[in-house]
Amino acid sequence: MSTRVNEREEEQTDAPAPAPYGASVAEAARATRFIDVRGLEKTFSGDGAPIQALRGLDLTVAEGTFLGVMGQSGSGKSTFLAMLGGLTHPSGGSVSVDGIDLYALPGERLADFRREYLGFVFQSFNLVPYLTALENVMLPLAVKRMPGAEKRRRALGVLERVGLSARAGHLPGKLSGGEQERVAIARALVNEPPLILADEPTGALDSETTVEIMDLFATLNREGITIVMVTHNPEIRRYFDRTIVLRDGRLDCELPACAADIPL
């Protein structure tokens, strides 16, 4: 994974190659700080008074973690997720993923990072209504230099992975909510990202379908994908390795320390 995107400059020096033991220690250190957030701040300034959505957030997440993010509406969860994904520049602080300092990257490298590292899944699915399930899943491959047949093969592979190969030719409008969600997950997976960011992915689903979708996320996590998921649903906390709670743009606490009066 460390050879993705950044081809880190510091690794191209004339320094002697580190001993294998040293390399594995560095790799282990990177894995334990797979996501490293330091003093993250975001202030939105519009017509009215500036809004401080994040007020100095620190967090370290190990590779392979299934992290839940909870907190009341307006506490900064979506803003936080967008910043983990390199979508919104912070007003202060830093985010690094797998040792890559996201907001120190030039714009086009940040786009490379998103393409190679991330799968996004949103509550509203964000499927293109006039494209079939298969075509929706192929979208992230549009910019890849790869034969069309290979793109199709990969997209069909992930649709099969989420149990939807029989629906590949259907338009989103002809699919149930859970099926649309699975198409959205397949689309997030098609680039084989090591990190999935999901913002209330079960928010529009009934409880039975929620369990189905969460089981799918849990399987992906067991296969090694790090997942950060925002949710208001206390029922799905049991899937998470760690659950943090945001309040007013700050990390309020982490379960189980704040289990008693968790604000949803």
Ligand X SMILES: Nc1ncnc2c1ncn2[C@@H]1O[C@H](COP(=O)(O)OP(=O)(O)OP(=O)(O)O)[C@@H](O)[C@H]1O
Q: Does 75 bind Mg ion (CB under 5 A)?
A: no
Closest to 178 measured CA to CA, from 213, 203, 207: 213
Distance CA 176, CA 172 (A): 8
Question: Least separation, in Å, of the C-beta of 134 and Mg ion?
Answer: 29
CB-nearer residue toward ligand X: 89 or 174: 89
**Residues in touch with ligand X (CB under 6 A):** 44, 46, 51, 53, 71, 73-79
CB-nearer residue toward ligand X: 136 or 202: 202
Question: Least separation, in Å, of the C-beta of 20 and Mg ion?
Answer: 44
**Partner whose binding site includes residue 3, from ligand X, Mg ion, none (CB under 5 to 8 Å by kind):** none
CB-nearer residue toward ligand X: 152 or 242: 242
Placement of tokens 């899937």 in the chain:
239
**Partner whose binding site includes residue 136, from ligand X, Mg ion, none (CB under 5 to 8 Å by kind):** none
Question: Hey, which residues does 59 pair with through a beta bridge?
Answer: 37
Q: Does 231 bind Mg ion (CB under 5 A)?
A: no
Which residues, at least 6 apart from 182, have a Cβ–Cβ distance to it below 8 Å?
162, 163, 164, 213, 216
CB count in 10 Å sphere of residue 69: 27
**Partner whose binding site includes residue 148, from ligand X, Mg ion, none (CB under 5 to 8 Å by kind):** none
Binding window for Mg ion (CB under 5 A); candidates: 10-18, 77-85, 131-139, 157-165: 77-85
Phi-psi region of 5 (alpha: psi -120 to 50; beta: other; left: phi over 0): left
- What amino acid is encoded at 263 in this protein? P
According to DSSP, residue 19 is labeled: P
Question: Least separation, in Å, of the C-beta of 78 and Mg ion?
Answer: 3
CB-nearer residue toward Mg ion: 86 or 99: 86
Distance CA 54, CA 151 (A): 39
Q: Does 78 bind Mg ion (CB under 5 A)?
A: yes
At 68, give phi and psi (nearest 5°). Answer: -100, 140
Residues that bind Mg ion (CB under 5 A): 78
